[in-house]
Amino acid sequence: MKKILKIILLLLSVSLFMISCEERNTPNNSDEYYVKYSITTTRQLHYFRGVTYADINGMITTKEKDSPSRVWTITIGPVKKGFRASIQYNEGGTCQIEVSKNNGPFALKAEGKNSASYTIDF
């Protein structure tokens, strides 16, 4: 009887150990990401009409900005791993996508003339 009890306890211990290892190796689905979109143009006075970008609910197209500037920026989130960030602006300028994971610093992930896209995979 004591042998059977020892075997059961051993099997139970091994099972619990394996379950805890499995949980450590699975990706953390609670990670939150924030996406910062920006457009920089060389024009002195620019109103940024028609910027299209992916937000947490789908694609958004902006209306005219209230005051002229050389830079347009917006931050969206939280989003999850696998989110496809994209920005497009056909009137000229450099588009950038930066991503922050779990409130960490923003890191540049994509850049392009008139558009950029990036799928979160880290």
pLDDT of 19 reads: 60
Element (H, E) at 55: strand 52-55
Furthest C-alpha separation in the chain:
87
Q: Give me the percent of the chain exceeding a pLDDT of 70.
A: 76
Q: Across-strand partners of 111?
A: 96
pTM of the model: 0.75
28 against 91, higher pLDDT: 91
Average pLDDT (9-16) is: 64
